[in-house]
Amino acid sequence: MFEPLIIDPPQPADSAVIWLHGLGANKYDFETEAKLLQTHVLPHTRFILPQAPTQPVTLNGGMAMPSWYDISDLSSPRQCNIEQLTASAEMVIALIEAQKKQGIALNRIILTGFSQGGAVVLHTAYLAYPNNIGGVIAMSTYAATFSANTVLDASKKTIPSLHLHGTQDPVVSSILGKAAYSFLIAQGVSASWHDYPMQHSVCEEELTDIANWLRQRLTTE
């Protein structure tokens, strides 16, 4: 596994955001956004941007590209390689534990993910990691491992989530994103939903919403 891009803050770190990129992207995809948030909102927050392994993706004709797991169909959130998704979640857990060893409290660690990366962080926070973290930001994504039979542990209901999606997204339908949000609401999670007139991308208004949500949870002043 590649080493993550770690962006240390200008002031001593007391919190961390682990931010996963999407399919076909790389660990530098959200470097600019992380640095902007750090400069203007979160001067005490370390950003960790991991790199997905390069592996064949069935959806794209078997072409090898950075991916957190293989996927064969975007029409259903569960047409994916669960074993590879689980391995990616274990990588995220290792990053959480590394931050914990450096003195960052678990309730001050936020998992963020775009598209495929979002599916990984939702799975990690609510199903795979036995402890609680400070929250989840799910960007233009879906829940690959939530189903009608999934019941969250009671403690997991205390992990807040922020869901952001483009209304014109041709890659991951906002219907799938809203389904993940609605599932967590039904389970008793404090979840928020924002959508924007954009496609499978990121917009300035979305970054403002992310900044406000993170400020509420990670600033100590």
Q: Would you call 190 a catalytic residue per the annotation?
A: no
Res 83: pLDDT: 94
Catalytic-role residue among 88, 115, 140, 174? 115
Confidence of residue 2 (pLDDT cuts 50, 70, 90): confident
Our answer to whether residue 14 is catalytic in this structure is: no
Percent of the chain at pLDDT > 70 equals 96
Domain limits, the chain: 5-218
- For 102, counting Cβ atoms within 10 Å of its Cβ (0-12 exposed, 13-18 middle, 19+ buried), the class is exposed
Local structure of 194: helix, strand or coil: strand
| Tokens matching residue 139 | 């960007």
CB 104 within 8 A of CB 96: no
Task: Give the H/E segment covering residue 63.
Answer: strand 63-66
How does pLDDT run across 114-151, given as a tens digit for each residue?
A: 999 999 999 999 999 999 999 999 999 999 999 888 89
Q: If you average pLDDT over residues 36-59, what whole number do you get?
A: 96
- Higher pLDDT among residues 75 and 157, named by residue: 157
Quick one: pLDDT at residue 148? Answer: 82
pLDDT at 193: 98
- Which residue among 44, 88, 169, 174 is the active-site one? 169
Catalytic entry in 192, 200, 201, 209? 200
pLDDT tens-digit map of 50-100: 999 999 999 888 999 999 999 987 666 657 899 999 999 999 999 999 999
- What's the rounded mean pLDDT across residues 44-51? 98
Fold of 5-218: Rossmann fold (3.40.50)
115 classed as catalytic:
yes
| pTM score of the predicted model | 0.96
For strand 109-114 and strand 15-20, is the pairing parallel, antiparallel, or unpaired? Answer: parallel
Residue 153 half-sphere exposure toward CB, CA atoms < 13 A: 11
